[in-house]
Structure 1
Amino acid sequence: MKKNTKNGRTVTTAGNEEQKREIAGIVLMLAALFFIGALLSFHSEDESLLAHLAWNDISSSAAKDAAGSIGNPFGLLGARLSAFFIRSFFGYPAILPGIALLFWGWSLFRQKSLKPALLFFLYMLFMAVDVAAMFGLTSMEFSDYMAGTIGRMLAAMLSTLIGYTGAWVLLAAAGVITSFYMSRGLGAMFSDTSRSVLEELRKPLGVLSAWREARRKKRSESARLKEDRRLQREEKKRLKRDPQVAPSQSSDPEGSAPFYSDPYPAFRDEAVRLDEPFPGESTPLPSAASVRQEGVAGEPEMTISAGIHEKEADLDERRLKVKTKDREPYRFPSIDLLERVPDDDNRIDEHHLTESKRKLLEKLNIYKIDVVRISTTVGPRVTLFEMELAPDVKVSRVKSLENDLAMALAARGIRIIAPIPGKNAVGVEIPNGKPKTVWLRSVLQVEKFKNSTLTLPIVLGKTIANEVFIADLATMPHLLIAGATGAGKSVCINVIISSLLYACSPDKVKFVMIDPKRVELFHYQQLRNHFLVRFPGIDEQIITDPQKAVYALKCVVKEMELRYECLEKAGVRNIGDYNRRLPEEAMPYLVVVIDELADLMITAGREVEEPIIRIAQLARAVGIHLIVATQRPSVDVITGIIKANFPSRIAFQVASRVDSRTILDGSGAEQLLGNGDMLFQPSDQPKALRIQGPFVSSGEVEAITTFIGAQHALKNMFVLPVPDQQQKGNGSAIGGMQDRDGRDSMFEDAARLVVMHQQASVSLLQRRLRLGFSRAARVMDQLEYNGIVSEADGSKPREVLVNNEDSLELLLRNLG
């Protein structure tokens, strides 16, 4: 347990809070079990023994005599509880709230949300009252024990008001209707609980079945080896008796196959299976992750690699509810908001691999290219053939055969890696016959993401080896995404943002979203009270207008400059050191997402390029990171200066090799398959990685944003500073601090307009006075400085401080 002391106060870490919840859960479960056991052990004879004892009498001789005579095994306390709840309360139905308390304790112990437990408790309490009242309407012998005093009282009251039959109908209808509406939420809740319990019970059964299978295979192999040794001994004896006779050509009765010893026949002629050897065996079984496949004579044998099997993890088992700086609780989205992954048998089509290998070798033999060894790795959409060439073969010869190999294999998207970095091999990537979809839930529901220590973890997808690839946006430090229309850029942006929403709280990261296409990022409008920043003088938080985008980027530049001043005063070099030194003043990371750079470059040009370059060059140390996407990867959009400051890039399918060179400084993107197939160029590796991006639907994104947007809004919103305005020809000065000579020529008209309408906004000045956005924003700053309108308060409209035109004219004369 760790504690940090600051300003004389002790701040307990999150681990201590979790420990307290676990202890409270255990105590509550024990109390619930005691309560249920006491009620089930009720004895009517115990009431007479306890009648003459006071509640607080536990040490007298009479109490000791009574304790020795009562029939309830839970002692005096158990006897009193059972007598009170069964006689004076609900009767035996009081056990139902006790079961709810047991589940409440289990939720505390497992760090689950307490909202379902509270809902379940209220439901069970209502059902206890309802059942008790039903038994109160009956005259059976045991009805007193099943109704209690409250049940009898409710039954008498209802039968008097609406009659005996009406009381039965009302109570039955109330129970059925309540159970019907509660079954939806409670069904999902208990299905998750039962699933987790079954998974825990299935683990020892899986170990037992694996051990039995391993023993069966070992006995089978031992019997086969013994039979082979027996046949070999008989062959040797026969040769000693008659040396002139040639050795037998067959060891089987039919004599149809040459004798050989195959110790692992189970791995022949069937798909690869992910079996693991049972620990402790003297002769472990071979791993199916690397299986040799024999070919015809003269051909190199092929090794099939099944890739990496990621360890799954329940993302909802982590601490989901956290406190923010303004003490508003925030809850991370549940993994159940994402669609469940369809079942996949993970089988490999060996027939397709064999045919691809045969065609590949036939084509290479035509050009006298000898292959010594081949190994294959099967990914979600492509298969990588790693070929070790003969020593006298030039790599350039294989590289020049890209189109010939594509024609021989009758497949599009053949990509040659010559050579594979760090290996003595050439790689050929061939599309799979049956591609598999990678779902966002499958890449988030892994141990690697759950226990990630990265600052800003983003999941990009799965590699060819089926490994979930997670990158850190904080170390990139900026990301450029480019590709043709429909190749998967917008889905990739949704995946990146969703990864950050599942990994980071609102105190850790904020978003600046610029969407010139207007339809790609509108789902994230529901994050306005938690993750989206606000701009001074602008009502929108997702920018769609190009001129407002320039203003928003300048606000980010100003925020960058102010952060550097804070770092300078604190004597630290980056935002990580600053947040560790001053946790009370910690700055959030700022992620700027631009979904279509080409539209901004066409409409704004130099105005938008300048702040992007400044942010890309300087903002890494202060925690501001850019994610820029474009569907037009040309040199007039991705300029040399922009590309130089984006060392990490993602290329989706493009139309030509020229576009691929513009993005990656090399070819390869023109051979991609689309639908999320990407090449990721990390900043620390020489060549790009082939990754299959996960798919997330708009419905899943909407479910995530709706869940976050439904929570309590943060009180202290993050507002970017007003940017410095450069000196213009009309005399406007810096930052809105103007004197009479510096006021805009439209200042007085704007003042009269806002006073007449009694509302003030930049968009109003744009529409009525036909001003550009930047000029209208400067005029609004001048109105604020001269006391005509109030300061900006996030997305709320400004207040007009002058009530009528006469007061305004007086104010304007005084200003003059």
Structure 2
Amino acid sequence: MPPKGNQFRSNSFKDESKPRQGSVKGERERSIKPRLDLPSFDLQNGRLIKIVGLFFLILSIFFFIAFTAYLFTWQEDQSYVSHANGGWHNLFKTQQELIDNGVKDPIVDNWMGKLGALLSDQFIYQWFGVASYIFVGIFVIIGYRFLFKVRLLSLSKTLAYSLFCIIFFSVAIGFVHGMISDYPHFLEGEFGYWSNRLLDAQIGQAGTGCLLVFAGLTVLIIAYNIDFKLPERKTKGGLMPSAMSDGVIPEPVDLEDEIPSEPFEWQKGNRARFEPVVDKPADTELLQQNIINHKPVVAADPVEVESIVPHTASHNTVLQNNILHEPIILTPEPLINDREPAESEDQEEIPLTLEIEETRPQAELPIEQETPKTANELVEKFGAFDPKLDLSGYKYPPIDLLENYGSNKISVDAGELEANKNKIVETLNHYNIEIDKIKATIGPTVTLYEIIPAPGVRISKIKNLEDDIALSLAALGIRIIAPMPGKGTIGIEVPNQHPEMVSMRSVLNSEKFQNTTMDLPIALGKTISNEVFIADLAKMPHLLVAGATGQGKSVGINAILVSLLYKRHPAELKFVLVDPKKVELTLFRKIERHFLAKLPDEADAIITDTKKVINTLNSLCIEMDQRYDLLKDAQVRNLKEYNAKFVNRKLNPNDGHRFLPFIVLIVDEFADLMMTAGKEVETPIARLAQLARAIGIHLVIATQRPSVNIITGTIKANFPARLAFRVLSKIDSRTILDSGGADQLIGRGDMLLAMGSDLIRLQCAFVDTPEVELVSDFIGNQRGYSTAMLLPEYVGEGEASSSAKEYDPDDRDAMFEDAARLIVLHQQGSTSLIQRKLKLGYNRAGRIIDQLEAAGIVGPFEGSKAREVLYPDEYSLERYLEELQKPRD
């Protein structure tokens, strides 16, 4: 299979002016000029990588020769490299100019010429002394990796350990220089020299020595996890003194119990080297020696190391061979000794076998593995991450806070049922429609009569008799379902004369709600067959609610909120409440520190001002984009998979990852927002409805007026789940449900739920205002978070200009310059980028981005897009930052 990317063509000049004889295209192709295909020096085809690798290898050779020559010629070249005589300014000067500047010997003795002398003086004399040779090793590792595509050592660990070694050896040599000053000053460099002078003045020479010993041992512990154990004394027979004194012979040792949770401690910084971490009982000493001799062990079934890291000696491990690209499969034999140890009997070596899928010389198989602290090890040591731990004492609201309205028993007079049946049959007979069978299903407010018409009766004929049947029954809200989905019947819904109220307590206390495993269960009420109906808001994934005034719409929203409060912990769920009426959702203000989310610096978590609603919706769009970035980094597709990975400690919080709660946006009166804001509200709502389901942001939007100018086609297309209370016209019913029926409802919580092609009639569970207040008080009186969840800061166009006028250079953030360099380096003016890379909070990152805009480094806010970066490279930025510093000096 040919490699991807741009490749050299076989002929750089492709002569297309000579077609084959008899070709029809010949005459047209004669005018085409030869085309020159130049090689593309991009990162994909590897040419640039190879050039960089070759450069680093040559650079390492240059530095090594220059440094070595400097050790012999530094005194002769001191006049040339001295700062007093020009230093680096002498590089391009002639001999006469050097003599005029006071250079005694203008001819350089360094083997690598003037540049070698200046570089050596800079690195060795002025910086780190002979510790600068470590730079040669760094360049070799980088160059070898890029040129030959062979990984000697991890680059990140190499750079980290090299930086420590450079500093440590420079200071250590300077420390020795302080006691023995018989050798030149260049061995430790000016960094080591002045560092020792400073440490000597602060903690003395003895303190400096102790500090160096501590630093060296600390790095050895970090890198190799060395153990500090006193040698254990053994008697002649090999038993412990305590065992001998008690006269007890130790039992056989089971190695499966002795091996800790981390059987292999990988030697960081070393290629293909590992040592097992096993306690050393006396009777397993020979076995320990076998393993330390690196006889490989393992297993029949290969398992990828990246996904599963072994925790016990019986786990499987696959070590990938980078050269042959074939897995080496290693399998341990049982490490159990079930024989009694004897004093005179040597312990047998346990055979260790190596199985390779294809026979290759063992010398060609370098084993490479670097195992960081894995998620399974962290879970085993600390347990799974518990998002509820911050509020571990949180108590869910008890069911006793809710009232039990009614008897919860449906009692319909048998005479009423018989009378309704007779009237339906009589009305149909008037129009020569015969019925084979009729049955009734009694609900809390409506009774469903299912009829099976005689063969040959047209369904449309019965459907057209809806008003006639309503007249004969003298009932309000007759609804005919012809045919009923999934049944060979025609349904006629007739309201009961004495409807039964469905209490919220009876629904929440049902076994169906208590045992549900839904992510966001909402108890909407009871169906026409008197069954509790529970829906999952996370699967809907958004809900559009419509209904005329006084038909139960606000009660339905309260039922949704109370259902979620009874089922979810504050760490798992947050509400964004928008209440243009200013009175409907005020009862939930008491749970602000538990369940609500708001914009930074906002006093009230329940949004009533239209301008703040726009900012909140755009802030949710920013939160949505940030969450998708986190899902992309975690390589998952939805919120559930992401949180499962985070709980199992497979995601690092230092990389910006965090536990993501569900966010439910509830808008109580959407028509008022559309009338006052229009497109400013519709655009973010449409974005959230289209994209936000996968990252756990769900919308519940309610309106009294479901007209086409309020519920636009864009919004309607992204709300497959719609809940309709009674509306005033068939047009409104078709607007919200795409079908009639909502105008035939009887009100007082009677509603139709459309989910896909299903249309379900429900009686909404009733929860009164005092009940909502009791639930809010119970939650609000508990210990909560310090503040509501803060959404990402959103600054409108007008606010951005005013903040720019108030910019004060003296009040600039301490991380201003770091953030500016970060923004220019990535060419992305994003607040979330500053948060992740500099590990800052929402508010501080937002203030820094405002200061960067005021300073002219990034452009103005452009909605959900990243700001424009006004400086193309770091060089121009540094010059600008220097100019900003001048007025302050």
**What's the TM-score once normalised by structure 1's chain length?**
0.52
Pairing partner for 2:401 from 337, 348, 351:
337
Which amino acid in the other structure matches residue 758 of structure 2?
K
Q: Distance in 2 between matches of 1:334 and 1:490?
A: 23
AA partner of residue 551 (structure 1): N
> Whose helix proportion is higher, 1 or 2?
1
1:620 paired to 2:693: yes
The 5-angstrom pairing of residues 128-143 of structure 1 reads none
Among 641, 644, 653, the residue aligned to 2:717: 644
Unaligned runs of 5+ in 2: 1-310, 312-374, 650-657, 812-844, 856-883
Asked if structure 1 preserves the Cα contact closer than 8 Å seen for 2:804 and 2:851, the reply is: no
Query: Is 2:749 aligned against 1:690?
Result: no
Q: Give the whole-Å Cα distance in 2 for the aligned partners of 1:508 and 1:745.
A: 37
Match in the other structure for 1:575: 639
The CA deviation at 1:345 is 4.9
Q: Aligned runs of 1:402-551 on 2, under 5 Å?
A: 402-551=466-615
Q: In 2, Cα distance between the equivalents of 1:745 and 1:572?
A: 39
Q: Distance in 1 between matches of 2:640 and 2:525?
A: 27
Q: 1:724 to 1:372 in 2, by over 3 A?
A: same
Contact 1:523 1:702 in 2 (8 A): yes
Q: Distance in 1 between matches of 2:510 and 2:795?
A: 46
1:605 aligned to 2:678? yes
1:746–1:779 Cα contact (<8 Å) kept: no
Q: Is the 8 A contact 1:747 1:782 kept in 2?
A: no
Residue 735 (structure 2) pairs with residue 662 (structure 1): yes
Deviations 1:430-461 (A, max 9, x none): 01011100000010111111110111000110
- Letter aligned with residue 695 of structure 1: F
Give the aligned residue type for 1:489: K
Alpha-carbon distance in structure 2 between the residues aligned to 1:623 and 1:375: 43
Q: Alpha-carbon deviation of 1:348?
A: 3.0
> Which residue of the partner structure matches residue 378 of structure 2?
7
Q: Encode CA deviations 1:39-74: one digit per residue, 9 max, x unaligned.
A: xxxxxxxxxxxxxxxxxxxxxxxxxxxxxxxxxxxx
For the pair shown, which has the larger CA radius of gyration, 1 or 2? 2
Q: Please state if 1:709 is matched with 2:780.
A: yes
Cα separation, 1, equivalents of 2:538 and 2:745: 27
Measured at CA, do residues 609 and 486 of structure 1 come closer, stay the same or move farther in structure 2, by a change above 3 Å? same
Q: Aligned-pair distance for 1:537?
A: 3.2
Q: Which amino acid aligns with 1:590?
A: I
3-state SS of the aligned residue for 2:577? Answer: strand
SS in structure 2 at match of 1:475: coil
Deviation at 1:324, TM superposition (A): 2.1
| 1:386 partner letter | E
2:270 aligned residue:
none
Per the alignment, do residues 712 and 473 of structure 1 end up closer, same or farther by CA in structure 2, a change over 3 Å counting? same
Matched residue SS, 1:582: helix
Closer/same/farther in 2, CA of residues 551 and 364 from structure 1, 3 Å limit: same
> Alpha-carbon deviation of 1:586?
2.3
- CA pair 384-778 structure 1, distance change in 2 beyond 3 A: same
- Aligned twin of 2:707: 634
Q: Superposition pairs for residues 234-273 of structure 1, below 5 Å?
A: none
> Which residue in 1 is equivalent to 2:806?
747
- Specify the SS of the correspondent of 1:565: helix
Match of 1:384 among 429, 432, 448: 448
Note the 1:719-758 alignment, pairs <5 A.
Answer: 719-723=790-794, 747=806
Q: Measured at CA, do residues 10 and 434 of structure 1 come closer, stay the same or move farther in structure 2, by a change above 3 Å?
A: farther
Partner Cα separation in structure 1 for residue 537 and residue 376 of structure 2: 31
Partner of 1:690, secondary structure, is: strand
**For the Cα contact (< 8 Å) 1:323–1:329, is it kept in 2?**
no
**Aligned CA distance change for structure 1 residues 703 and 644 (closer, same or farther; 3 Å):** same
Q: Does the 8 Å contact 2:692/2:698 carry over to 1?
A: yes
Tell me the equivalent position of 2:171: none
Please list the CA deviations of residues 748-791 of structure 1 after superposition, one character each: whole Å capped at 9, or x if unmatched: 79x99xxxxxxxxxxxxxxxxxxxxxxxx99998479889xxxx
Q: 1:326 to 1:351 in 2, by over 3 A?
A: same
Give the match for residue 804 of structure 1.
Answer: none
Superposition map of 1:773-792 within 5 A: 782=850
Shift in Å, 1:470: 0.2
2:753 paired with 1:680: yes
Q: Secondary structure at the match of 1:528?
A: helix
TM-score of the superposed pair, with normalisation by structure 2: 0.48
Which residue, 404, 429, 454 being the options, matches 1:365? 429
Give the Å deviation of 1:412: 0.8
For residues 716 and 460 of structure 2, the distance between their equivalents in structure 1, rounded to whole angstroms, comes to 28
Q: Distance in 2 between matches of 1:481 and 1:450?
A: 25
Cα gap change, 1:612 to 1:9, in 2 (>3 Å)? same
Quick one: structure 1 residues 748 and 580, their matched pair in 2 at CA, closer, same or farther if it must change by over 3 Å?
Answer: closer
What amino acid maps onto 2:506 in structure 1? S
Quote the Cα distance in structure 1 between the aligned partners of 2:886 and 2:692. 45
Structure 2: distance between partners of 1:327 and 1:356? 56
Quote how far apart the aligned CAs of 1:421 are. 0.2
Q: Secondary structure at the match of 1:679?
A: strand
CA distance in 1, matches of 2:849, 2:626: 20
Q: What secondary structure sits across from 1:561 in the alignment? A: helix
Provide the secondary structure at the position in 1 that maps to 2:450.
strand
Structure 1 residue matching 2:524: 3-state secondary structure:
strand
The residue number in structure 2 matching 1:589 is 662
Larger mean Cα displacement after TM superposition, 634-643 or 584-593: 584-593
1:510 is paired with a residue whose SS is strand
Q: Give a deviation string over 1:682-710, Cα, whole Å, max 9, x none.
A: 13xx2311100011000000000000000
Matches within 5 A, 1:202-217: none
Aligned to 1:803: none
Deviations 1:14-36 (A, max 9, x none): 9xxxxxxxxxxxxxxxxxxxxxx
Kept in 2, the 8 Å contact 1:747–1:779? The answer is no
* Structure 2 counterpart of 1:129: none
Q: Is the 8 A contact 2:804 2:850 kept in 1?
A: no
SS in 2 for 1:454: coil
Cα pair distance change 1:747/1:571, threshold 3 Å? same
Matches within 5 A, 1:65-84: none
Q: State the alpha-carbon separation in 2 of the partners of residues 426 and 815 from structure 1.
A: 84
C-alpha contact (below 8 Å) 2:522/2:564 kept by paired residues: yes
Written as runs of structure 1 = structure 2, the 5 A alignment for 1:22-101 is none
Aligned-pair CA distance for 1:346? 3.5
Query: Retained in 2: the 8 A contact 1:387–1:427?
Result: yes
Question: Which one-letter code corresponds to 1:348 in the other structure?
Answer: V
3-state SS of 2:727 partner: coil
> In structure 1, what is the equivalent of residue 112 of structure 2?
none
Q: Identify unmatched segments of 5+ residues in structure 1.
A: 15-321, 737-741, 753-776, 788-810
1:780 to 1:523, Cα distance in 2 relative to 1, 3 A: farther
Distance verdict in 2 for CA 1:623–1:475, change over 3 Å: same
Task: Give the counterpart letter for 2:762 in structure 1.
Answer: I
> CA separation of 1:478/1:433 partners in 2, compared to 1, >3 Å: closer, same or farther?
same
Shift of 1:525: 0.2
8 Å CA contact 2:804–2:853 kept in 1: the answer is no
**For residues 788-803 of structure 1, what are the structure 2 equivalents within 5 Å?**
none
Contact 1:461–1:692 (CA<8 Å) still a contact in 2?
yes
Q: After TM superposition, list the pairs within 5 Å mapping 1:213-224 onto structure 2.
A: none
Tell me how far apart the structure 2 counterparts of residues 711 and 643 of structure 1 sit (CA, whole Å).
Answer: 39
Q: Is the 8 A contact 2:639 2:694 kept in 1?
A: yes
Q: State the match for 2:242 in structure 1.
A: none
Judged with a 3 Å threshold, the aligned counterparts in structure 2 of structure 1 residues 327 and 482 are, in CA distance, closer, same or farther, namely closer
Report what 1:554 is aligned to.
618
Corresponding residue SS for 1:331? coil
CA RMSD of aligned residues (A): 3.1
Deviation at 1:519, TM superposition (A): 0.4
> How many residue pairs end up in the alignment?
446
Q: Secondary structure at the match of 2:598?
A: coil
